[in-house]
Amino acid sequence: MSLFHSEFNKRELISLRMILNSNSGLNKVINAGLSLDEIKSLNRESLKGLRFRKYEEILDKLQNYELYESKAINTIDWCEENSISILSIFDENYPKKLSMLKNPPCLLFCSGNVSLLNMEKSIGIVGSRNISDYGKIITEKATSYFAKNGANIVSGLAKGVDTHAHQSALNNNAPTTAVLVDIKTISPASNINLAKEIVQNGGLVLSENIPGTQASDAYLFIDRNRIQAGLSKLVVIIEAGSESGTQSTAKHAIEQKKPIYCSDLNKIPNYPEVKFKDSLNKKLFDQGEAKLFTEETYTEMSKILDYDSEI
């Protein structure tokens, strides 16, 4: 039985996602229990009441609903032509762990093994795009260990730590999940072949955004990071600066009450002291929001992954 007062098919959800400008906007009308006809009839005051900011723009779009419905049909056709599965929040196999988020993705555009969305033994491995040689070694060692122990490696296909985590998972014949801003235009372009390799080897590439969304706004990456944390039972931070974008993944993990483990960079021989002092690893540990890990900690982390919980 649905938890929602109104349900929408995928064509309607895609149309509304385009009109309302964001996933959070789509969640607002779903949580308000509005029907499609009621949404089409929204006026300036009711949009203000639902705390929409660009209400004039949304009103104009609502008056041209058929145009966005046509665009939605084109999107669905493109997905079918490119073997992209579309999962909606109303589907029975929608992952429970994402439904628990404050702003759950209403749509997921998926290429590859969709069952990985519900794989409980999933670990997020993230960190800096500007990875050091030390970071490469740590990423490959940590990823290989958990990959060999049957974990799904979750990351974001970015340069640096993400790339090495996905590649290490593939090298160990383990499943890996890449959460993107846009599934149509893979970014960075240098990882297009890596994305293909992930799908071809039983992994998953996905995005909550309408295919063709330009990854130009920082908030899209911040939103993406909540899904990375949401799919993971625990989050591993390999190496990142104190003000790195990885901060947002850590923030989401903390909000979701997911354990965070940061590499103990201070125990790496010859690791630059200045870099360690300015690391997100040290910052999160000093704030009591993360534990530090070395190879000796893998067993402890594995116990968390193996623990049989509902989410």
Q: Residue 215: its pLDDT value, please? A: 75
Determine contact, residues 180/87, Cβ cutoff 8 Å.
no
308 phi, psi to nearest 5 deg: -85, 95
Burial class (CB in 10 A: 0-12, 13-18, 19+), 189: exposed
pTM: 0.94
Taking only the tens place, the pLDDT of each residue in 33-86 is 999 999 999 999 999 999 998 889 999 999 999 999 999 999 999 999 999 999
C-alpha closest to that of 60 among 89, 30, 21: 21
Across 43-78, b (16+ Cβ under 10 Å) vs e yields eeeebeebebeebeebeebbeebeebbebbeebeee
Taking 70 as the threshold, does the pLDDT of residue 25 lie above it? yes
Taking only the tens place, the pLDDT of each residue in 181-212 is 999 999 999 999 999 999 999 999 999 999 99
Q: Residue 156: its pLDDT value, please? A: 97
CB proximity list for 277: less than 8 A, separation 6 or greater: none
Helix (H, G, I), strand (E, B) or coil at 111: strand
Q: What is the CATH number of domain 114-306?
A: 3.40.50.450
What is the domain partition of the chain in residue ranges?
A: 10-81, 114-306
CA–CA separation, 183 and 171 (whole Å): 23
Helix (H) or strand (E) holding 146: helix 133-148
